[in-house]
Amino acid sequence: MDEALLFSVAAIVILGIGAQWIAWQLRLPSILLLLVFGILAGPVFHWVHPDLLLGDTLFPLVSIAVAVILFEGGMSLHFRELRHAGRAVRNLITVGAVITWAGSALAAHLLLGLDMTLAVLFGAILIVTGPTVIGPLLRQVRPVGKVGHILKWEGILIDPIGAIVALLAFEVLFLSSAGEATWHLLSGLGRTALIGGLLGVAGAGVLIILLRRFLIPDHLHSPVTLMAVVGMYTASNGMQAESGLLAVTVMGITLANQRWVDVRHILEFKENLRVVLIAILFILLGARLSAQDVTHIGWPHLVFLVILIVVIRPLSVWLSTLGVDMRLRERIFLAGMAPRGIVAAAVASVFALRLEHAGMAGSHTLVPLTFFVIIGTVLVYGSLALPFARRLGIAEPHPQGFLIVGAHPWVRELAQALQKLDIPVLLVDTNYPQVAAAQLAGLPAVRENILSESVTANLNLGGIGRLLACTPNDEVNALACQHFSPIFGRREVYRLAMKNTQHTRQEDPLTNQYGRIAFGTGLGYEQLQQRLQAGDIKAVTLTPSFDYASLLAHHGNATLLLFTISKQHRVEIATADTKATPQPGATVICLVPQADAETATTLDSHADTPRA
C-alpha cells in the first residue's frame, strides 16, 4: 500500500511538471497538456486516485492552493494599468459577469438538459476565465494598447467574483421564495465584498509594517508571506464563506501597489510556487474524472461550447464596452479571449461534491461539463489567439521593437537612436535612478527584474519583437535570453559578448545557446562603454552615391555598425554570426569616433529617414 501511495504522489509531480515542460517545448498552452495528463493518470491508466490518496483533505488543500495562485495574480496587477482601462474592467466583471451567468445557464438548460437550478450554478461557475491561461496567451500574442491590461485585470478579478457568485447561487438553490433568494444574494455579495476587502487590506498592511521594521529576517520573507496568505484566507472564509479568495486577491493587489517596501523577491517565490501548485491541481482534478465522464460528449456539448464562444462572450463584451473609448478591433479581440482555467475546475469539483451529498439529481455531470468547457476553450483560444490578433492588427506580424535589459547611460543613448527612427523600445532595469533617468530622457522604462516569471505579464510588449540584454552582468544577460527565447524565438534574443580573460575560452557565436552575440565577439559591456565615451551614435541613410562601402571608406575601421533599418522598416541588429551588407536606401546606426561625428551628422542631415 505504501508503495502504491508513493507511486501516486510521484506520478502527480512528474506528470504535472513534465506536462508544463513539454508544453513549453511545443509552445502549447500548459493547461491543455496538464488536463490530458490528468485524465491519462486517472480514468485511463488508474495511476492516481485523488480521493483515496488525500481523502477529506483533498478540497481544503485545493482551496488553499487556489488562494495562493490568486494572491500571486493580484501581485501582478498595478493601478497604473487602469488609467485607460478601468471602466472596461469594471463593466466586464459586473455587467459582463451577469450576462455570462444568465446566458450560460439558459444554454445549459436548453441544450444539455440540466435542471434549471443546476444550470444556474453551472452558469455561475463559468463566469470565471483564468489568469493561468490568459497570462501565457497574452505573452504569446503581445497585443498592442490597453487590451492586454483589460484581459489581465478581468482574468484575475473575475475569479474570486465567480467563486463567490457560485457559492451564493448554491445556497440560493435551497431557499424557498424568490424574495428570500434575492435578499440572500445581495446581502451575501455585500458581506463578502466588505469582509474580504477589509481583511485583504489589513493583511497587506500588517505584512508591510513587519517588513518595513525589519521584524522578519530576509530568508523568511517568502515563508511568512505564505503563512499570512493562508491565515488570511482561512480567517476570511471563517467570517464569510468564500470571501477568502477576494481577501487574498486584494492583499496581493495592495502589496503590488504600495511603495514602502520592496516585495519583488516575494513575488518571484510565489511564481515558482504557482507553477508547482498548478501542476499538482490539474493532475489531481483531472484524475478524479471517470472514464464515462470523458467519453460522454455529444453534439449538444459541442453546440453549447460554440454558443459560449461565439454568442455569449461577444454579447458580454459588446454590452460591457458600450460608451468605452475603444477601437472596434480591440472589442473584437476581447470578445475572442475567454478561456476557463484552474478556478473553474476547482469550484466545480467542490460544489459537485456538496450537491451529491445534498442528493441533487444530475450533480455528477457538473465536473465533466466544466472540464469539457476548459479543454474546449483552451483549444479554441489557444490555437486562434495569435493569428486572430494579427488579422485584427492588435499584434504586429513582425514587431520590430526592442526590449532592452539595462538602462545605463550608453544604453539609453542607444535606445534614443532607435526611438528617433520610430523603432519601439522598452528599457527594463532594477536600478531606480537609471530607470528614472531613462524616463526623464523620454524613453519608456520600468523597474522590474527581467528574470521574474511575471515580468512578461507586467510589461506592455506591443510592438516589441526582440530582446537586447545590455547589463554588465553576463549571467543576467544569458539568463534573460533563455527566459525570452520561447516568447521572441531564439533568433531574436541578443546579448553582449561575455568578458574574455586568459582563463575564459573565446565564445563560439554559431553554437552559443545563451542568445546571439550583438555587435561582435570582442565587444562586451565595458568595451562598448569605452567606445561610446570616445565616440557618438549616428544614423545615416545610404544612397547609391554614398553606399555602405563609401561609409566605411570615409570613417575607416573605427566605424562600428550597430543596426540596419531597411526601406521596409525592418530592423537588423549586427551580430557576431552574420555579416551585414546594408543596401542603398537603408538607414544604418553606427558608432563613429568623435573626430568623425560632425561629418556623420552632416551626412545624416542630407539623408532621408525612413518612416514607420
For residues 96 and 312, give the distance between their C-alpha atoms in angstroms, rounded to a whole number: 9
For residues 36 and 611, give the distance between their C-alpha atoms in angstroms, rounded to a whole number: 48
Report angle CA 226, 54, 167 to the nearest 5 degrees. Answer: 65
Report angle CA 79, 82, 86 to the nearest 5 degrees. Answer: 130
- From 362, 392, 422, give the residue that closes a domain: 392
Say whether 179 sits in a helix, a strand or coil: helix
pLDDT category of residue 397 using cuts at 50, 70 and 90:
low
For residue 185, tell me if it sits in a domain: yes
Q: Are residues 382 and 506 in the same domain?
A: no
Q: Are residues 303 and 203 in the same domain?
A: yes
Residue tagged 504522489 (cell numbers) = 9
For residues 147 and 328, give the distance between their C-alpha atoms in angstroms, rounded to a whole number: 11
Amino acid 574: pLDDT: 85
Q: Are residues 133 and 236 in the same domain?
A: yes
How would you classify the pairing of strands 464-469 and 445-447? Answer: unpaired
Say whether 151 sits in a helix, a strand or coil: helix
For residue 611, tell me if it sits in a domain: no
For residue 552, tell me if it sits in a domain: yes
Q: How many residues does the chain have?
A: 612
User: Strands (DSSP E) along 453-523, which ranges?
Assistant: 464-469, 493-495, 516-517
In this prediction, residues 34-46 reach a mean pLDDT of 86
| CATH (domain of 501) | 3.40.50.720
Q: Are residues 99 and 46 in the same domain?
A: yes
Task: Compute CA 403 distance to the chain's CA centroid, rounded to the nearest angstrom.
Answer: 16
Q: Is it the case that residue 390 has pLDDT exceeding 90?
A: no
- From 335, 360, 392, give the residue that closes a domain: 392
Q: Are residues 450 and 563 in the same domain?
A: yes
Q: Are residues 538 and 582 in the same domain?
A: yes
For residues 159 and 131, give the distance between their C-alpha atoms in angstroms, rounded to a whole number: 8
For residue 54, tell me if it sits in a domain: yes
Q: Are residues 362 and 424 in the same domain?
A: no
- The DSSP bridge partners found for residue 182 are none
DSSP state of 477: H
Contacts of 123 (CB under 8 A, 6+ apart): 100, 101, 102, 103, 104, 105, 106, 108
Reported as a single tens digit per residue, the pLDDT across 517-542 is 888 777 888 888 888 887 788 888 88
Amino acid sitting at position 379: L
- The DSSP bridge partners found for residue 447 are 429
Amino acid 586: pLDDT: 87
In this prediction, residues 172-189 reach a mean pLDDT of 63
Number of domains, the chain: 2
pLDDT category of residue 185 using cuts at 50, 70 and 90:
low
For residues 238 and 244, give the distance between their C-alpha atoms in angstroms, rounded to a whole number: 8
Handedness of CA 142, 143, 145, 146 (dihedral sign): negative
- From 366, 392, 418, give the residue that closes a domain: 392
| CATH (domain of 90) | 1.20.1530.20
Contacts of 318 (CB under 8 A, 6+ apart): 331, 335
Domain residues for 426?
Answer: 401-605
Rg (CA), the chain: 27
Amino acid 506: pLDDT: 52
Q: Which of 109-113, 277-281, 354-358, 465-469 has the lowest mean pLDDT?
A: 354-358
Q: Are residues 437 and 555 in the same domain?
A: yes
Contact (Cβ atoms closer than 8 angstroms) between residue 67 and residue 231: no
Q: Are residues 70 and 188 in the same domain?
A: yes
Amino acid 610: pLDDT: 38
For residue 612, tell me if it sits in a domain: no
Task: Compute CA 470 distance to the chain's CA centroid, rounded to the nearest angstrom.
Answer: 24
Residue 263, all three cell numbers: 516585495
For residues 276 and 347, give the distance between their C-alpha atoms in angstroms, rounded to a whole number: 19
- Which pTM value belongs to this model? 0.69
Contact (Cβ atoms closer than 8 angstroms) between residue 550 and residue 525: no
For residue 184, tell me if it sits in a domain: yes
For residue 522, tell me if it sits in a domain: yes
Count other C-beta atoms under 10 Å from residue 602's C-beta: 11
Amino acid 595: pLDDT: 57
Report angle CA 216, 221, 222 to the nearest 5 degrees. Answer: 155
Contact (Cβ atoms closer than 8 angstroms) between residue 121 and residue 366: yes
Q: Are residues 524 and 490 in the same domain?
A: yes
For residue 610, tell me if it sits in a domain: no
Q: Are residues 122 and 154 in the same domain?
A: yes
Q: Are residues 406 and 474 in the same domain?
A: yes
Reported as a single tens digit per residue, the pLDDT across 561-604 is 888 888 777 888 888 777 777 888 888 888 887 655 444 444 44
In this prediction, residues 409-421 reach a mean pLDDT of 90
Amino acid 503: pLDDT: 39
pLDDT category of residue 68 using cuts at 50, 70 and 90:
confident
